[in-house]
């Protein structure tokens, strides 16, 4: 192993869908229903292209798949209809929909006084967090209502780090989509992929999920994969004190 790059991490930023909670099936069901309504054959493989992007960008991709064109007003109406169907499904969510290990990992970060944020392209992020009982678990929530540019633009992550008052290079992002990984890197952050390593090759490291994960295990993974030695800066530590786990 070569020389390690040391980074004293002060914040962790989480995408929501597919990272904290599995809403992918709900999105897929709503998009497939819409696609069927307008005569587009929409598969789970097609749905992968919609991960991590905004609702309107997703509409563009859906129409591209179907080779269709509609007026801007009609596209907006279709997007709103999809959202209504999705919200109906979200209303049935609860704490049981939180992905395994997420709560334990967030609680560890809280005990270490490490700042956390949700950075989700979804305009329903706050609703989902409320339904699963995690609305107060994060220091900052940035969603699609607060940004103009969709991932892979780094806007959402830069806004999150700004609200956390933490430099981008001292943040770790958890993402399940290539667009999100690219956005995190453009923001100057460490990007950890959540999911299949083969699908997230550009990530600095990849985890299958949060079950069994803690900050020590994560630091070992990053050291092995990207030669990054992750230390944790705890709220209240003075500028000269570095805590490496």
pLDDT score of 236: 60
Percent of the chain exceeding pLDDT 90 equals 80
pLDDT at 239 over 50: no
> What kind and span of H or E run contains 230?
strand 228-232
Residue 15 bears catalytic tag: yes
pLDDT at 237 over 60: no
Residue 17 bears catalytic tag: yes
- 159-177 confidence digits (pLDDT tens): 999 999 999 999 999 999 9
pLDDT score of 25: 86
pLDDT at 241 over 50: no
Q: What is the pLDDT confidence band of residue 229, given thresholds at 50, 70 and 90?
A: confident
15, 46, 139, 143: the catalytic one is: 15
- E-assigned strands of the chain? 5-9, 11-14, 115-119, 140-142, 171-175, 190-194, 205-207, 228-232
Q: What is the Cα–Cα distance from 35 to 116, expressed in whole angstroms?
A: 36
- The token duo for 79 is 């997007």
- 65-79 confidence digits (pLDDT tens): 999 999 999 999 999
17, 46, 143, 176: the catalytic one is: 17
């Amino acid at each position: 192993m070569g020389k390690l790059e040391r980074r004293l991490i002060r914040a962790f930023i989480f995408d929501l869908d597919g990272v904290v909670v599995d809403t992918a099936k709900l999105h897929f069901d709503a998009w497939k229903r819409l696609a069927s309504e307008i005569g587009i054959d929409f598969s789970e493989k097609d749905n992968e292209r919609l991960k991590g992007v905004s609702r309107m960008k997703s509409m563009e991709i859906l129409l591209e798949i179907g080779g269709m064109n509609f007026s801007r007003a009609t596209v907006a109406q279709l997007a709103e209809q999809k959202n209504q169907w999705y919200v109906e499904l979200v209303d049935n969510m609860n704490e049981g929909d939180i992905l395994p290990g997420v709560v334990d990992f967030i609680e560890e970060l809280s005990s270490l006084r490490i700042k956390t944020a949700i950075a989700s392209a979804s305009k329903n992020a706050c609703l989902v967090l409320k339904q699963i009982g995690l609305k107060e678990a994060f220091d900052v929530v940035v969603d699609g209502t607060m940004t103009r540019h969709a991932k892979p633009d780094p806007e959402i992550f830069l806004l999150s780090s700004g609200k956390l008052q933490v430099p981008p290079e001292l943040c770790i992002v958890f993402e399940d989509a290539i667009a999100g990984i690219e956005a995190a890197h453009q923001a100057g952050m460490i990007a950890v992929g959540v999911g299949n390593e083969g699908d997230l090759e550009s990530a600095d490291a990849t985890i299958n999920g949060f079950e069994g994960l803690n900050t020590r295990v994560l630091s070992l993974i990053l050291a092995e994969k990207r030669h990054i030695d992750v230390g944790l800066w705890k709220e209240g530590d003075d500028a000269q004190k570095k805590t490496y786990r």
